Amino acid sequence: MKIAIVGNCQARTIHRAMVALAPNHEFELYHMNRIQRACPVRDDIESWASEVALSDVACLINYLPKSGLFSEAALLPRCKHVVRFPYIAFTGFHPDCVYLTANGTQLTGPAGPYHSAIVFAAWSLGIPEHYVPSLFNRFTFKSLNLQAFYDAAVAKQGSEWSALGYNFSEFLSLNRSFMHTVNHPAVDILIDTARQALRHIGIQPTEVDIDVEDELSEAVIWPVYDGLLKDVNSSPNFMIEGKEVPLRDFVTNSYQAYEDHRGVTIDGHGVEAAKQFLTEHYVYAAKV
């Protein structure tokens, strides 16, 4: 059977896992971001969509638009079978991890597109850089009600998986993070997703443990703050491109990125709560 896997960076690991889990079948990866960058006109994208439609099964990540050339509606009349698999975006372990824009363009910092709402809020309020690492404590995290972000993320992801016929509950019982960032899952949950997707296709995956590279860990691993995992005290440091970056260095580099854009409008979803908290409590929070 020939299976086309259509998705983003998560799909790369899904593809490698499926190849290992079902070696008697043929799998082809279609990376949407790369296709869109390489194809400036619709006709070029149409050729890729036509190629996907020639497969026995089109396996689509669930974040793809509900309309368009790679949508389930467009492919079903042309493809024998279409199966969707979940897009794993889980903010519960990293509720402080946000995207920022500068004059509407994505802002890059020391962790690439990922920023700390606490750090950015501190910079925007003029809090001296050397105070900021001390703000990363349980008083701050509890005051920002980060546990509520976890509960909301569990409900949202669980609902999305259930709607597609996938089971998300196993990973919630592990008491450890299965995410490197808000949208970069660890390899074990991607392997499990691949197993479930294969069953939806009608292929029984091998039950043997497989070794698949944890590719997404090579970019950024955001720390899980104290209190989010029961009885687990986490390091406040970051892993960026395979190197450990202490919190203090991350703050320094973030402040520099924001200073480089002083005078332009920097904005991002999820920073207002941090700003409000620091406006009211930062002197006390830094001393906790």
22-79 confidence digits (pLDDT tens): 999 999 999 877 666 656 555 567 787 888 888 999 999 987 776 677 777 778 777 8
Rounded to an integer, the average pLDDT of 156-183 is 89
pTM for the full predicted model: 0.90
Rounded to an integer, the average pLDDT of 215-225 is 94
Phi and psi torsions of 269, nearest 5°: -70, 135
The pairs formed by 154-157 with CB atoms below 8 angstroms and a separation of 24 or more are: 154/92, 157/86, 157/88, 157/89, 157/90, 157/92
Q: Check residues 208 and 186 and name the one with the higher pLDDT.
A: 186
pLDDT band at 214 (very low <50, low <70, confident <90, very high): very high
Predicted local confidence at residue 77, as pLDDT: 77
Question: What's the token pair of residue 251?
Answer: 């703050």
Predicted local confidence at residue 41, as pLDDT: 54
Phi and psi torsions of 105, nearest 5°: -105, 140
Question: What's the token pair of residue 188?
Answer: 């074990």
pLDDT band at 18 (very low <50, low <70, confident <90, very high): very high
Rounded to the nearest 10 degrees, how much is the dihedral formed by the CA atoms of 164, 172, 157, 136?
A: -160
pLDDT of 275 over the 70 cut: yes
- Report how far residue 216's alpha carbon sits from residue 196's, in angstroms, rounded to the nearest whole number: 20
Among residues 114, 146, 72, the alpha carbon closest in space to that of 221 is found at: 114
- Report how far residue 159's alpha carbon sits from residue 257's, in angstroms, rounded to the nearest whole number: 37
- Report how far residue 191's alpha carbon sits from residue 200's, in angstroms, rounded to the nearest whole number: 14
Among residues 218, 246, 265, 263, the alpha carbon closest in space to that of 100 is found at: 265
Burial bucket for residue 30 (CB in 10 Å: 0-12, 13-18, 19+)? buried
